[in-house]
């Protein structure tokens, strides 16, 4: 017989992100973050390869990363709007968790499955943070794809990449709900 958990289902049916720039203090401390990170890594992982790792960016790291985003934007000759967005993601944040994908060659587990597992870590992290009462937002942005930023700012190896940067903090505003997908038009039922 099913063992329903209506509270969990209600949560999943109503959960939503908050824009990172609207997240404020306080943010979870290391003790409060621990179960959120544990839940995030309790993620389907074919072959138990653990093809991901986490980097927690605390408030003290943000000015350095914002300055590096500026420097990289200048080196890449990015337009001012794009440059400012890259900086703001770090300058305005008090806490973010970088989910790093690190797929490895495997005869058994195709790379795409390892990458999908990293995406699943991002959603689990988002859900766990929201379930714990925090606002959260899964972002990438150009710094997440800039090898110079990743190497110098986050210490990523060339084989690693960012699956997501999940910002976590206190909710201040609830913007209008975004339109949600039409399940019927996206679902095919096969019965014979």
Ligand X SMILES: Cc1cc2nc3c(=O)[nH]c(=O)nc-3n(C[C@H](O)[C@H](O)[C@H](O)COP(=O)(O)O)c2cc1C
Known binding residue 15? Answer is yes
Contact 92, 164 (CB under 8 A): no
Name the nearest CA neighbour of 150 among 113, 102, 112, 118.
102
Binding mask 106-145 for ligand X (x = CB under 6 A): -------------------------------xxxxx----
For position 52 contacting ligand X by CB under 6 A, the verdict is no
Identify which of 93, 114, 94, 91 has the alpha carbon closest to the alpha carbon of residue 163. 114
Would you say 140 is a known binding-site residue? yes
Q: Is 93 annotated as a binding residue?
A: no
Quick one: 91 or 106, whose CB is closer to ligand X? 91
In the window 147-176, what residues touch ligand X (CB under 6 A)?
A: 164
User: Quick one: CA torsion of 123, 128, 129, 135, rounded to 10 degrees?
Assistant: 70
Q: Does 43 bind ligand X (CB under 6 A)?
A: no
Work out how close the CB of 46 gets to ligand X at its nearest, in angstroms, rounded to a whole number. Answer: 20
Please give the Cα distance from 56 to 54 (Å, whole number). 6
Residues in the chain: 192
| List of residues contacting ligand X (CB under 6 A) | 16-17, 137-141, 164, 178
């Amino acid at each position: 017989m099913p063992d329903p958990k209506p509270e969990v289902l209600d949560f999943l049916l109503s959960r939503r992100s908050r824009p990172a720039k609207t997240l404020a203090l306080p943010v979870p401390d290391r003790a409060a973050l621990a179960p959120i990170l544990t839940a995030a890594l309790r993620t389907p992982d074919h072959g138990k390869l653990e093809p991901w790792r986490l980097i927690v960016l605390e408030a003290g790291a943000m000015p350095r990363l914002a300055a590096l985003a500026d420097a990289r934007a200048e080196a890449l000759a990015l337009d001012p709007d794009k440059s400012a967005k890259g900086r703001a993601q770090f300058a305005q944040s008090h806490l973010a968790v970088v989910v790093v994908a690190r797929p490895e060659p495997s005869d058994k587990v195709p790379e795409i499955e390892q990458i999908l597992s990293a995406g699943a870590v991002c959603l689990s992290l988002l859900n766990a943070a929201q379930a714990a009462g925090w606002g959260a937002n899964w972002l990438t942005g150009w710094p997440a794809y800039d090898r110079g930023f990743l190497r110098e700012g986050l210490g990523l190896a060339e084989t690693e990449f960012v699956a997501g940067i999940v910002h976590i903090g206190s909710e201040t505003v609830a913007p209008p709900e975004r339109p949600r997908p039409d399940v019927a038009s996206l679902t095919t039922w096969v019965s014979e």
